């Protein structure tokens, strides 16, 4: 991968995760970018370093969902590498992760997702406290469709919309066996 291609991927994924209008899949990761303007950038050195990453897309996704990446220089520290390692582990063991995360949920199934007086439901509070992962939140929404209800009921105008956007933008990158995950959820509650 060339540094310019790394620049294009970074910019496309940044737009995907931070805006409602850009969809990485719809536009096939394409953005308006000019190689000549890239050559005069003062931060192009960072893209040279990024272009050496074996799984640059996974590395960028991991950091966009875990950190609030604003600038390419934010990605060149050990924390970013650890973030990618953790992300890879979660992807490889999604069912195991999901099983462990749902054990943190209340035994009263409906109580986990119920919004009372516009406040965060218990499952969302668990996510905010990092007791369940973003992957589990996305899977729960895939199985139960909870986000539509939460969008109508939660009154928070700042935190919930940003979590919602992150989850919705992350979902297409996840590879999941929904039937197996549904069964895992049934096993806990039946």
Q: pLDDT tens digits for 13-66?
A: 999 999 999 999 999 999 998 888 888 888 888 999 999 999 999 999 999 998
- Domain spans in the chain, listed from the N-terminal domain onward: 3-90, 93-189
**70-79: long-range pairs with CB below 8 Å, 24+:** 71/43, 72/10, 72/43, 72/46, 72/47, 73/43, 73/46, 75/46, 75/50, 76/46, 76/49, 76/50
pLDDT given at position 189: 86
Cα(60)–Cα(56) distance, rounded to whole angstroms?
Answer: 6
Q: Is 68 exposed, middle or buried (0-12, 13-18, 19+ CB in 10 A)?
A: exposed
The model's pTM is 0.90
Yes or no: domain 93-189 corresponds to CATH 3.40.50.300: no
Yes or no: domain 3-90 corresponds to CATH 1.10.8.60: yes
Q: pLDDT tens digits for 86-122?
A: 999 999 999 999 999 999 999 999 999 999 999 999 9
**pLDDT-above-70 percentage for the chain:** 100
């Amino acid at each position: 991968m060339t540094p310019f291609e790394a620049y294009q991927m970074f910019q496309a994924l940044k737009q995907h995760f931070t805006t409602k209008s850009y969809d990485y899949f719809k536009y096939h990761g394409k953005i308006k970018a000019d190689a000549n303007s890239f050559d005069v950038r003062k931060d192009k050195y960072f893209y040279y370093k990024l272009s050496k990453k074996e799984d640059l897309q996974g590395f960028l996704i991991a950091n966009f969902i875990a950190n609030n990446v604003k600038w390419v220089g934010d990605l060149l520290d050990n924390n970013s590498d650890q973030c990618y390692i953790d992300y890879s582990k979660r992807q490889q063991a999604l069912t195991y992760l999901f099983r462990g995360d749902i054990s943190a949920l209340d035994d009263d199934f409906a109580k986990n997702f119920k919004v009372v007086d516009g406040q965060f439901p218990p499952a969302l509070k668990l996510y905010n406290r990092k007791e369940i992962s973003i992957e589990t939140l996305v899977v729960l929404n895939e199985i139960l469709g909870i986000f539509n209800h939460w969008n109508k009921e939660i009154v928070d105008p700042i935190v919930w919309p940003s979590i919602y956007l992150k989850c919705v933008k992350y979902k297409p990158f996840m590879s999941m066996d929904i039937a197996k995950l549904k069964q895992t959820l049934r096993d806990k509650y039946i």
